[in-house]
């Protein structure tokens, strides 16, 4: 079993760390809000005071943070991950960031004499708990081969995309579709309801139809019964669309549907849904329809 460093113990990172502990790994975890690490400490995780401390003596160090700036911050400085890495360690970033941020992390890591992989994930809390997370990996194949056993203790799918920038782009391509699917699903329920179909019945029918992707199979019901803690927030989805749109502009690629989806998410965030589960965009759309605002309470 490996000694694993883990930086970023939010909803996704915390559940991944839990799987690593269950597999028998020694886990040294850091989170900016230490209270989020309390349940993992009860399961045997060592709570590190800094990202550097989480990385020290670890053969694999994972990070899973909110955006490119957060990744830069946990890497840099005397208390950062890079100062704690040994030359034999492999730094694996699981975050959803753009190609520019991922490439910057790779360069900084290699300047410290260490190896870097970008391994953003496809899945959510239920996927992690079932052991079915998919890793989209960018970086050297040799480094991937070394960390593969640890990754397989977390999820079941590993796809080597190519470079770290390509892995980051692939993850944004996935999240682009996630946001648009949730918005389309929500609008479908609203349309059916306007013609007299009870919303819960509409959700059941849509989830039994050909439009029910694996993601909608769990997130679709959140439209009416959101989880206690958001698995993926409106604000994070909007952040990912902004990165995807910036990527598309760099290669002169219009993203028509993404532009419309970004407007919906911006409106939902303005209405106060930013920190709520992505499926709450349906509630925002209902409010914006200016009719029967009291439904789906």
The three-state DSSP-derived secondary structure of 28-68 is: EEECCCHHHHHHHHHCCCEECCCHHHHHCCCCEEEECCCCH
Question: Does 294 reside within a domain?
Answer: no
Question: Does 39 reside within a domain?
Answer: yes
Question: Does 115 reside within a domain?
Answer: yes
Domain count, the chain: 2
Question: Does 93 reside within a domain?
Answer: yes
Q: How confident is the model at residue 60 (pLDDT cuts 50, 70, 90)?
A: very high
Residue 1 or residue 140, greater confidence: 140
Reported as a single tens digit per residue, the pLDDT across 101-155 is: 999 999 999 999 999 999 999 999 999 999 999 999 999 999 999 999 999 999 9
Let me know whether 155 and 24 are in one domain.
yes
**pLDDT of amino acid 1:** 79
Let me know whether 10 and 136 are in one domain.
yes
**Domain end position, chosen among 140, 162, 184:** 162
Let me know whether 44 and 140 are in one domain.
yes
Let me know whether 179 and 196 are in one domain.
yes
Query: Over 90: is that where the pLDDT of 294 sits?
Result: no
Let me know whether 66 and 149 are in one domain.
yes
Overall average pLDDT of the 248-274 stretch: 96
Query: Residue 215 sits in a domain of what CATH number?
Result: 1.10.1040.10
**pLDDT of amino acid 135:** 98
**Domain end position, chosen among 102, 135, 162:** 162
Question: Does 73 reside within a domain?
Answer: yes
Query: Over 80: is that where the pLDDT of 276 sits?
Result: yes
Question: Does 293 reside within a domain?
Answer: no
Q: Hey, which bits of the chain come out as E strands? A: 3-7, 26-30, 46-47, 60-63, 90-93, 115-118, 121-122, 134-138, 157-162
Let me know whether 84 and 66 are in one domain.
yes
Average pLDDT, the chain: 94
Query: Residue 94 sits in a domain of what CATH number?
Result: 3.40.50.720
Let me know whether 76 and 10 are in one domain.
yes
Overall average pLDDT of the 52-59 stretch: 97
Question: Does 214 reside within a domain?
Answer: yes
Query: Over 80: is that where the pLDDT of 295 sits?
Result: no
Q: Work out whether strand 90-93 and strand 115-118 pair parallel, antiparallel, or are unpaired.
A: parallel
Let me know whether 110 and 247 are in one domain.
no
Let me know whether 198 and 275 are in one domain.
yes
Let me know whether 94 and 197 are in one domain.
no
**Domain end position, chosen among 138, 162, 186:** 162
Q: How confident is the model at residue 289 (pLDDT cuts 50, 70, 90)?
A: confident
Q: Which residues make beta-bridge pairs with 137?
A: 160
Overall average pLDDT of the 28-47 stretch: 92
Which residue segment(s) compose the domain that 116 sits in? 3-162
Question: Does 297 reside within a domain?
Answer: no
Query: Over 80: is that where the pLDDT of 293 sits?
Result: no
């Amino acid at each position: 079993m490996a000694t694993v460093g883990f930086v970023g113990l939010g909803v996704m990172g915390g559940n991944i760390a839990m799987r690593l502990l269950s597999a028998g790994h020694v886990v040294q975890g850091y989170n900016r809000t230490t209270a989020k690490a309390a349940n993992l400490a009860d399961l045997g995780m060592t709570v590190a005071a800094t990202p550097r401390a989480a990385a020290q003596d670890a053969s694999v160090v994972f990070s899973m943070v909110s955006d490119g700036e957060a990744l830069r911050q946990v890497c840099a400085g005397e208390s950062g991950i890079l100062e704690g890495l040994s030359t034999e360690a492999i730094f694996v970033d699981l975050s959803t960031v753009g190609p520019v941020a991922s490439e910057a992390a790779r360069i900084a890591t290699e300047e410290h004499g260490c190896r870097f992989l970008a391994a953003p994930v496809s899945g959510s809390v239920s996927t992690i708990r079932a052991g079915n997370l998919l890793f989209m990996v960018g970086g050297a194949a040799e480094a991937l081969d070394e960390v593969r056993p640890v990754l397989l203790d977390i999820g079941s799918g590993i796809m080597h995309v190519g470079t770290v920038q390509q892995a980051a782009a692939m993850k944004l391509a996935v999240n682009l579709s996630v946001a648009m699917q949730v918005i389309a699903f929500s609008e479908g329920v609203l349309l059916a309801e306007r013609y007299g179909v009870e919303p819960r019945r509409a959700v059941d029918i849509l989830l039994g139809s050909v439009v029910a992707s694996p993601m909608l199979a769990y997130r679709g019901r959140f439209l009416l019964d959101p989880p206690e803690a958001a698995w993926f927030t409106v604000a994070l989805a909007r952040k990912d669309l902004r990165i995807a749109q910036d990527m598309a502009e760099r290669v002169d690629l219009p993203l028509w549907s993404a532009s419309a989806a970004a407007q919906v998410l911006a409106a939902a965030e303005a209405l106060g849904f930013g920190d709520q589960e992505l499926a709450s965009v349906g509630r925002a759309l209902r409010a914006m329809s200016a009719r029967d605002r009291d439904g789906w309470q």
